[in-house]
């Protein structure tokens, strides 16, 4: 039969069914993309269980990114420990209006979830005599992998810390040496690895910490 001979009401019904099916498919896809737990549907989701959902442009799915739930008190505790990590739980609790036991539980939790990764002493090496600190900017060939960059200075005894960076330079290495001759030897060893195409050395004159 010629399509033009079909009744108008049938055509309208077909269009209605098509829209209904399309809406159902979109609704099903949306539910599959952003599933919610029972607690979220009831409005009882706690801050610790909250998630940030980042929509991917031009993609048919979303990427849930778990976020560690910290409140204002946790932030205060972290700030106090950054200033002086030797403070007791009693002192920290007094400053944030918590009991010593409650403050200790919060500190333990921050350690368990990996927000606090450790404690260390800050040493003034200048008072030990004959210490020079410097930063060495390292540049590598464009095809060098990040893992190979890290291997270049991984076993250097003069290295205090090192960073691989995006852009120029490719890596920034903090060095601690006895004197300028020791610094020259350390830089020469870096250059002899065969991976480095250029270096720039900056000697530290002073330092300040937050």
For the domain spanning 48-121, the CATH number is 1.10.10.10
- What's the pLDDT band for 193 if we cut at 50, 70, 90? confident
Compute the average pLDDT of residues 165-182.
92
**Is the confidence at residue 175, as pLDDT, over 70?**
yes
- Span of 10-14, 46-50, 184-188, 202-206 with lowest mean pLDDT: 46-50
C-alpha 48/C-alpha 45 separation (Å) is 8
What is the Cα Rg of the chain in Å?
30
pLDDT value of position 42:
42
What pLDDT digit, counting tens, does each position of 31-69 carry?
Answer: 333 444 444 444 444 444 434 333 334 444 344 555 678
Q: How many CA atoms lie within 13 A of 30 on its CB side?
A: 6
State the fold for domain 125-203.
Alpha-Beta Plaits (3.30.70)
Contacts 24+ apart (CB under 8 A), 79-83: 81/107, 81/116, 82/210
What pLDDT digit, counting tens, does each position of 72-129 carry?
Answer: 999 999 999 998 999 999 999 999 999 999 999 999 999 999 999 999 887 777 777 6
Verdict on whether the full-model pTM lies above 0.85: no
- What's the pLDDT band for 202 if we cut at 50, 70, 90? very high
**Is the confidence at residue 130, as pLDDT, over 60?**
yes
SS3 content of the chain, % helix, strand, coil (to 5): 45, 20, 35
Task: Characterise 209 by phi-psi region: left (phi > 0), alpha (psi -120 to 50), beta (else).
Answer: beta
pLDDT value of position 66:
56
What pLDDT digit, counting tens, does each position of 140-164 carry?
Answer: 988 888 988 988 888 889 999 999 9
Are 60 and 33 in contact by the 8 Å Cβ rule? The answer is yes
As annotated, the residues of the chain forming the CATH 3.30.70.920 domain(s) are 125-203
């Amino acid at each position: 039969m010629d399509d033009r001979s079909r009744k108008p009401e049938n055509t309208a019904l077909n269009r209605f069914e098509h829209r209904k099916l399309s809406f159902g498919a979109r609704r099903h896809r949306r539910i599959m993309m952003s599933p919610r737990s029972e607690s979220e549907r009831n409005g009882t989701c706690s801050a610790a269980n909250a998630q940030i959902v980042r929509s991917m442009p031009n993609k048919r799915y979303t990427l849930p990114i778990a976020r560690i739930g910290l409140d204002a008190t946790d932030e205060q505790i972290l700030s106090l420990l950054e200033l002086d990590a030797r403070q007791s739980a009693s002192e920290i609790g007094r400053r944030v209006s918590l009991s010593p036991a409650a403050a200790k539980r919060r500190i333990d939790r921050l350690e368990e979830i990996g927000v606090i990764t450790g404690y260390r002493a800050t040493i003034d090496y200048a008072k030990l005599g004959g210490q020079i600190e410097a930063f060495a900017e390292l540049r590598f060939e464009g095809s060098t992998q990040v893992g190979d960059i890290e291997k270049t200075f991984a076993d250097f005894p003069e290295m205090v810390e090192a960073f691989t960076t995006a852009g120029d330079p490719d890596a920034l290495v903090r060095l601690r040496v006895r004197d300028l001759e020791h610094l020259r030897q350390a830089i020469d060893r870096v250059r002899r690895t065969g991976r480095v195409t250029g270096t720039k050395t900056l000697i530290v004159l002073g330092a300040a910490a937050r």
